[in-house]
Amino acid sequence: MKSFFKHTAPALALLGLSLGSCKPDLENSPKSSAGQADFSRYVAVGNSLTAGFGDNGLYLEGQLNSYPNILAGQLKAVGGGDFAQPLFTDAQANGSGYLSLAGFTGGGNPITVPVTTNRALRAGSTAAAPLFTKFTDPVNNLGVPGIRMSDINTPGYGSVQGNPYFERITPDATPFQTYLGRVQATVASLKPTFFTEWLGNNDVLGFATAGGAASSLTPPATFAANTSLVLDALTAGGAKGVVVTIPDVTGIPFFTTVGPGFRATLTANSVPGVLALTGAAPGGAASGNRKQIATVDIRDAAGAGRQLFTLTSAPFLPLLGRPTGAPWRSFVPRAALGSYLTAYGIDTLQAFGATAGNPIPSAFILDDVEQVQVQNATTAFNTTLAAAANQRNLALFDANTFFSSVARNGLVVNGVNNTASFISGNLFSLDGVHPTPRGYAVIANEMIKAINAKYGSAVPGVDATKYRGVRFPQ
């Protein structure tokens, strides 16, 4: 995921203290207390959100501003102990590499560039298969970017399946270790008294951002079974914790940024829609049939039956600055999309998106059928997570409800306005999916609210305005 003008509202799309103009009175806050919980040994289980991923990469600043690290810092006020993370070193602080904001085009669109210096790469690493510097000491933060709930029992998920973030923390002596096995080993060695569990986002996100073309949704039965396995492992020693639901992925900037502007351009030029491929890919499991070419009506995030662009929106960014009255046919760029061309017999001499001979690929479109599939999966997964938390008497942070409210109403923190908008909203990073440090601070505060409500504790929150949003070029 490179240029993150996407259509439908990542980051992921994620976040905060409370809605409305609420300014916490820190001086008159109640005295810190652990309540009925023991925070002395805290472990975090999850994916990229737990690791502190942002700006399309994992790097030291993001790790230090991950919500588990922020939360662990606040837990120290109520008896919390040390919290070890697999941090990159200062010399390799840029970790996997990430995106930075270089400036803006004349039309106001952001220009992002990859940061490739001081990366944490070791011998044998390639662009297609990076190998990050190993970190094999015990850690409390088990956040692994890219992992799905469906992946937790996959042997060799790092070394064989090729997730470099898990491979990095997998001991060489146990190359076929599963993620669940790592959780169980951590429980056995650290004996956690408290945990946070936030898995499942990628079981929906990968399908959505690929327009339903390059990934599949996890079966609800698999999700439920694996949720039980993870939570049973974490609670085996009597630990208390927080379970987090999955936000609606179609509400993040990855999806919401391009759509309204593109829709306005179509309307201004009397273009009712664009021609796109929809349905199952050739030979796909859904039907095995060639995708159909259909006229796709691009609507904004509030439109019923909206059709959403996904993946990089680079081919569509020029549309946002298209001169009024410019010929549609001459303006739309032509496709250069590799296997897409041969799979569908595309004629690149025809106008991209304006003719049946050169339709927009399905990977750029989350169509109405796929949107329903995403919504149904999200609902099923969140029902499972809530039931599992209630069954084990654990706290629940309903991130789905919270993020939906932020998308609708914004968020005021200590008098500062924050929204789910790309770049200007403060909460989402340059990949349009993952939070900024401020977004992660807001998430930590919401988790603290859930913890205090469930366990009668008085864990203090942080001032999220002290954490940065998107970093602008100097």
- 39: tokens are 């925070």
Q: Helical H runs in 1-92? A: 48-51, 60-64, 67-75
Domains for the chain: give ranges and CATH numbers: 21-248+372-466 (3.40.50.1110), 255-366 (no CATH)
d(CA 458, CA 156): 41
Contact 122, 134 (CB under 8 A): yes
CA 276: distance to chain centroid?
A: 26
Partnered with residue 307 across adjacent β-strands are 298
Contact 5, 310 (CB under 8 A): no
Give the global pTM: 0.85
Partnered with residue 410 across adjacent β-strands are none
Contact 323, 107 (CB under 8 A): no
**pLDDT tens digits in sequence order for the chain, 474 residues long:** 332 223 332 232 222 223 233 444 433 345 778 899 999 999 999 999 999 999 999 999 999 999 999 999 999 999 999 999 999 999 999 999 999 999 987 767 788 899 999 999 999 999 989 999 999 999 999 999 999 999 999 999 998 889 999 999 999 999 999 999 999 999 999 999 999 999 999 999 988 887 776 678 999 999 999 999 999 999 999 999 999 999 998 888 888 776 666 666 666 766 666 777 776 544 443 433 345 666 666 554 444 445 555 533 444 444 444 444 444 444 444 444 455 556 666 676 776 677 777 777 777 777 777 888 899 999 999 999 999 999 999 999 999 999 999 999 999 999 999 999 989 999 999 998 999 999 999 999 999 999 999 999 999 999 999 999 999 998
d(CA 61, CA 440): 12
d(CA 358, CA 39): 58
d(CA 347, CA 279): 20
Residue ranges with strand state E in 205-312: 240-244, 274-278, 292-296, 308-309
Look-up of token digits 């999220």: 464
